[in-house]
Amino acid sequence: TTFIGGTRVLFIFSSIMLIFIAASRRNALLIIISAINFIISIMIWLDFDANITAIMRITIAILAIIYYLKNDELLEDCKLSFVVQK
């Protein structure tokens, strides 16, 4: 018999929810991160090699850092324009 682990199913469900959240934000980096995360959840469910999923997780981390830095710059620009307009 095949056993489907609850943690794996939960990981797939959370990655699907992340896709909807990223699509509502309409940000390309978040959509790419959520798509890679969904692929990783399927690969973990199918017991793929850990090295492949580790490389993909590192890629997600790099993209998340880029998103954070890009978003932080946008917030600084908004703060500066608010101060200048005052």
Q: How confident is the model at residue 8 (pLDDT cuts 50, 70, 90)?
A: confident
Judge whether 52 and 22 are in contact, CB under 8 Å: no
Span 31-48, pLDDT tens digits: 888 888 888 888 877 777
Q: How many CA atoms lie within 13 Å of 65's alpha carbon, on the beta-carbon side?
A: 5
pTM of the full structure: 0.65
CA distance 18 to 7: 16
